[in-house]
Amino acid sequence: MVSESTDLRVIKTRAAIEMTFLDLLLQKKFNTLTVKDIAAAAQIGRGTFYLHFLDKYDLLEKVIDEGLNETVDKFHLHTYFVDGKVSFDRITGFVQTMFRHFKRNDRFFRAMFFNEDIPMFRQRMQERFLSKFQQEIGQMSLPVIEKDPLMLEIMPIFVSSAMIGLLSWWFERQAKIPEEEIARRILVIMTQGPLRALGLDV
């Protein structure tokens, strides 16, 4: 039987490898990194690395998968409604919670967004959110499902693309804009629409 201390040591070693990997991705392109580089930076032997991951591609895949799972698991569409109506307070709270999550995990998101050798991350992030949205929406009764099914396809793509672009922009500015300010403006855009949010008559 594996002892609890051994399990904890395995978890800590794996976490150290993943954090070191993200640090390296902020400094070098993924394609130039080697297992030797990662192991040396993590202060472990290459043999220890291979006990946890097949190669650097397996490491990248697991880091992305874990990071996206943790992020998407925070999205629960049905919780934004009270008595069948959208709750502005809950949406604002959700946006603030998400951006705090992004800030806590800025190493992961900056590495994924800005390393030129990981071009598919934004698409994968959007696909995860779209899949979660479809799961959530299937459990709800919304008028648009019957009245305009095409809107149900277009809207989540439009919103998720905008949010991922906004997140990238936020990190480019070192996440200096407070989550509360971001949340307030997102709520205005979502409730009034982009044109009205700019003060234009429609």
What integer is the mean pLDDT of 110-115?
Answer: 95
Q: Which of these three, 36, 53, 70, is where a domain ends? A: 53
- Whether 18 and 113 map to the same domain: the answer is no
- Whether 111 and 161 map to the same domain: the answer is yes
- Whether 42 and 68 map to the same domain: the answer is no
- Whether 161 and 91 map to the same domain: the answer is yes
- Whether 71 and 168 map to the same domain: the answer is yes
What integer is the mean pLDDT of 34-50?
Answer: 95
- Whether 169 and 119 map to the same domain: the answer is yes
Q: Write out the residue range of the structural domain in which residue 20 sits.
A: 4-53
* Structural domain includes residue 136: yes
pLDDT of 142 > 70? The answer is no
Q: Which residue has the tokens 């997140």?
A: 167
Entry pTM: 0.86
pLDDT for position 1 = 42
Domain count, the chain: 2
Decide: 101 and 71 in contact? Cβ < 8 Å: yes
Helix and strand element counts for the chain (H, E): 11, 2
- Whether 38 and 103 map to the same domain: the answer is no
- Whether 104 and 185 map to the same domain: the answer is yes
Decide: 170 and 95 in contact? Cβ < 8 Å: no
pLDDT band with cut points at 50, 70 and 90 for residue 143: low
Contacts (Cβ under 8 Å, ≥6 apart) of 87: 80, 81
- Whether 83 and 156 map to the same domain: the answer is yes
- Whether 21 and 96 map to the same domain: the answer is no
pLDDT for position 2 = 46
pLDDT of 12 > 60? The answer is yes
* Structural domain includes residue 202: no
Pairwise CA distance, residues 50 & 33, whole Å: 15
- Whether 95 and 183 map to the same domain: the answer is yes
Q: Both ends of the chain: CA-CA distance in Å?
A: 69
* Structural domain includes residue 117: yes
- Whether 174 and 116 map to the same domain: the answer is yes
* Structural domain includes residue 49: yes
* Structural domain includes residue 68: yes
pLDDT of 84 > 80? The answer is no
